[in-house]
Amino acid sequence: MLLVTPGRSQAIENIRRAAAEGRFNDKTEPFDPEWSPEALKADILRYVDRMDSPLFKAKNLLARTVVDAWRRRYSDGVNEIVGLEKIAAVKGAAFVTGNHFNPFDNGILRRMALDTGRGRLIAVSQGTNFVMPGLNGFVLRNIDVIPLIREPSYMNGAFRQLMQKQLDRRRFILIYPEQEMWFNYRKPRPGKRGAFLFAAEYGVPVIPTFVEMQDLPRLQAPSFREVRLVLHVLDPIFPDPQQSARENSFAMCQADYEAKKNCYEGCYHRALTYDFSPWDIAGWTGETP
């Protein structure tokens, strides 16, 4: 099961338009919070300052409990992970990439990290997730995340420090190269190279993953069927020590996309194009939600 939130008709229409225009990293969610850059930076810096406090640790435990309960209730019986053995080639820290299609799509990736004995997965999360209201916002703020805002002094200071701390712990750090979530969108999208630049600079590999989504017969909500997830762990991509970080970032980004594209075509037995059809939205019956 995947979360179906309000505004699906508008989100699907936004996806259709963005795909047709080649805007693969644009926002498509209709109700994402809007915050001024200054206010968002101030909120994020306050958040970072509180990350070592007892209150934050209590909230983190509660958020992990909520996600684990959700995963056991809705996911463990129907979700599958294949290719875990490929992670054996990675001895230390790594960045993990995936296709981003749901607010809680990283649940199966967190399970992957635990199943391989790497402990809790750390996710890089857009700053606007930290100002979302309700239970979703609480979880997204407190579930082992590093906030991301496009502000140079933050990116070169607190962000780097938080990331280095997790790499020193040999943790897996999840970054979505696609940047924005496209609701239940089956297709891999061309990504940005930030994750791969980080990997090259720190000399650690990238573990590409791709989540296949299979429609189930039962309706989860009006116009949407239940969806079964299959996480495919793909071959790790290592930076080339003979290339610069910039050169590596382009090469690794392209290799990551090609790996996801090949996995998509193997899973679904169809060539990857960005012509839109209702099938592109997993679980959708094609009717207006």
Q: How confident is the model at residue 135 (pLDDT cuts 50, 70, 90)?
A: confident
Q: Between 37 and 57, whose confidence is greater? A: 57
The helix (run of H) or strand (run of E) holding residue 122 is: strand 122-126
Q: Which of 29-38, 92-101, 189-198, 235-244 has the lowest mean pLDDT?
A: 29-38
The strand pair at 80-82 and 172-174 is best described as unpaired
- The mean per-residue pLDDT over the stretch 259-285 comes to 97
> What integer pLDDT is reported at residue 285 of this predicted model?
92
- The percent of residues in the chain predicted with pLDDT above 90, rounded, is 59
Fold of 8-280: Glycerol-3-phosphate (1)-acyltransferase (3.40.1130)
pLDDT digits (tens, 9 = 90+) for 13-42: 999 999 999 999 999 988 777 777 788 888
Give the domain ranges of the chain. Answer: 8-280
Check whether 203 has a pLDDT greater than 90.
yes
Check whether 253 has a pLDDT greater than 80.
yes
> What integer pLDDT is reported at residue 86 of this predicted model?
95
> What integer pLDDT is reported at residue 77 of this predicted model?
55
Q: Between 73 and 169, whose confidence is greater? A: 169
SS3 174: strand
Helix axes 54-74, 134-142, angle to 10 degrees: 110
Tally of CB atoms within 10 A around 19: 21
> What integer pLDDT is reported at residue 27 of this predicted model?
92
Cβ atoms of 212 and 267 within 8 Å: the answer is yes
> What integer pLDDT is reported at residue 45 of this predicted model?
87
Tally of CB atoms within 10 A around 44: 21
Q: How confident is the model at residue 3 (pLDDT cuts 50, 70, 90)?
A: low
Check whether 156 has a pLDDT greater than 80.
yes
Q: How confident is the model at residue 46 (pLDDT cuts 50, 70, 90)?
A: confident
> What integer pLDDT is reported at residue 237 of this predicted model?
98
- The predicted model scores a pTM of 0.91
> What integer pLDDT is reported at residue 222 of this predicted model?
86
Sheet with 94-97, edge to edge strand ranges: 80-82, 224-233, 206-221, 94-97, 172-174, 122-126, 145-148
- The mean per-residue pLDDT over the stretch 85-99 comes to 94
> What integer pLDDT is reported at residue 104 of this predicted model?
78
* DSSP calls for 47-94: HHHTTTSHHHHHHHHHHHHHHHHHHHHHTTTT-EEE-GGGGGG--S-E
